Amino acid sequence: MVLRKTSSIILGFLFMALSWMTTLAQTTAEPWTDSELKPTKELADQINASGKKKPLIINVGPQAVIPGSLDAGPGSEKDNIKKLEKILSAQDKNREVVIYCGCCPFAKCPNVRPAFKVVKEQGFTQARLLNIPKNIKTDWIDKNYPVQ
Amino acid sequence: MRNIKLFIGLAGLLFLLNQERSLAQKPIEVGGLAPEIELSTPGGKMVSLSSLRGNLVLIDFWASWCAPCVQEQPELKKLYAKYHRPSQTGVNLDIYAVSLDSKKDAWERAIKKLDLPWTQVSDLKFWTSPVAKTYQLEGIPFNLLVDQKGYIIALNLHGEQLDQFLSKRVGK
């Protein structure tokens, strides 16, 4: 009887630990937090506003579509990550840095994770990932946001 | 006189409204005519979709940077081997692959690596390509099957479903 009680307590603890670990895995799966996701409209407004201090915008996908953005190239390639590091090395760490890809939904994108990690590792206090849930066509171009 | 002016005014208004409607995008749907595409091959030759009329044409929207698109290519090769038979009488399958690549070398490398034998075209404009707008693409991979007269007969069929559809259309 005592044995059964003990084993059910152990099992209970195991279950709790497992569910806690799963939640932890879910929350730590991405290198960015929700607050680091930059709404597209916010960036479009910043680009359209005259005179305002603009963020540093860097393309880490197949093509630099957003006006004024620097082109590091797809973040899945090592050479492009080096290019990104070089672009970032000359920047003020407190400047807002927005990276974007837009090839495909985040779940399928091979570029945003390695690139965002670099921005964070370099200690930028305002590292942002442009929130493009689908792709740059439906979430940016089709909304008539500026294109270069 | 006043009636004539009114009539001309109304006719003009109707004309303008009609113009506007014809400029508006037609939906991409089964039964509709597939809008014309004319883009360049890697070798720089312009090839139009309509030049493949008379065949059953699979328009495949893909890109070398799109992992699921690249993964699908070996399957398409199997289907092409099965249903592309231009020397025989009856229906023949052809593929018109439109790439949303932006860099020519990446596009060419992928075609070579995958060893794709069918027509490859692109304007190298990524998601800003006017074709992506015309075909109202929401994501890739995306494909359409077009009949011998250029009408859309199926949208976005993949794998087993695409094979079954083709086998009915082309026969075994």
Token pair, residue A122, equals 């370099």
What was the pLDDT predicted at A12? 66
Interface of A with B in 1-60 (CB under 8 A): none
State the CB neighbour count (10 A cutoff) for residue B105.
10
Q: How far is B71 from chain A (nearest CA, A)?
A: 13
What was the pLDDT predicted at A100? 98
- B12/A contact by beta carbon, under 8 A: no
Choose between A93 and B1: higher pLDDT.
A93
- A136/B contact by beta carbon, under 8 A: yes
CA distance B41 to B122: 7
Choose between A10 and A49: higher pLDDT.
A49
**Domain positions in chain A:** 34-143
Choose between B88 and A85: higher pLDDT.
A85
pLDDT band, very low/low/confident/very high, at B170 (cuts 50, 70, 90): confident
Contact between chains at A137 and B67 (C-beta distance less than 8 A): no
Residues B38, B42, B45, CA angle at the centre, nearest 5°?
Answer: 50
Q: Flag whether the ipTM exceeds 0.85.
A: no
What was the pLDDT predicted at A32? 96
pLDDT, tens digit (0-9, with 9 covering 90-100), for B3-25: 666 666 656 555 555 554 445 57
B68 contacts in A (CB within 8 Å)?
A: 108
Contact between residue A75 and residue A94 where contact means Cβ atoms under 8 Å apart = no
- A108/B contact by beta carbon, under 8 A: yes
The secondary structure of B61-111 as a DSSP string is EE-TT-HHHHHHHHHHHHHHHHH--TTSSS--EEEEEEE--S-HHHHHHHH
Q: Which amino acid is at A36?
A: E
pLDDT band, very low/low/confident/very high, at B1 (cuts 50, 70, 90): low
- A135/B contact by beta carbon, under 8 A: yes
What was the pLDDT predicted at A3? 59
What was the pLDDT predicted at A53? 82
Q: How far is A56 from chain B (nearest CA, A)?
A: 22
Give strand ranges (E) for chain A: 37-38, 56-59, 70-71, 97-100, 127-130
pLDDT, tens digit (0-9, with 9 covering 90-100), for B85-132: 988 788 999 999 999 999 999 999 999 999 999 999 999 999 999 999
Residues whose CB falls within 8 Å of the CB of residue A31, separated by 6 or more in sequence, listed in order = A113, A116, A117, A120
What was the pLDDT predicted at B16? 55
pLDDT, tens digit (0-9, with 9 covering 90-100), for A93-119: 999 999 999 999 999 899 999 999 999
Q: With pLDDT > 70 as the criterion, what percentage of chain B qualifies?
A: 85
- pTM (whole model) above 0.90: no
Contact between chains at B139 and A134 (C-beta distance less than 8 A): yes
What was the pLDDT predicted at A50? 83
- A105/B contact by beta carbon, under 8 A: yes
Pick from B126, B131, B140 the residue to mutate for testing the A interface (most A CBs within 10 Å).
B126
- Distance from the Cα of residue B163 to its chain's centroid: 18
Mean pLDDT of B51-57: 97
What was the pLDDT predicted at B14? 55
Q: Tell whether the model's pLDDT for residue B161 goes beyond 90.
A: yes
Low-confidence winner among A6-10, A118-122, A136-140, B48-52 (lowest mean pLDDT) = A6-10
- A134/B contact by beta carbon, under 8 A: yes
Contact between chains at A102 and B127 (C-beta distance less than 8 A): yes
User: Of the CATH numbers 3.40.30.10, 3.40.250.10, 3.60.15.10, 3.40.50.300, which one belongs to the domain with range A34-143?
Assistant: 3.40.250.10
Q: How far is B8 from chain A (nearest CA, A)?
A: 36
Question: Chain B residue with minimal CA distance to A146?
Answer: B128
Contact between chains at A110 and B67 (C-beta distance less than 8 A): yes
List domains and CATH numbers for chain B.
28-168 (3.40.30.10)
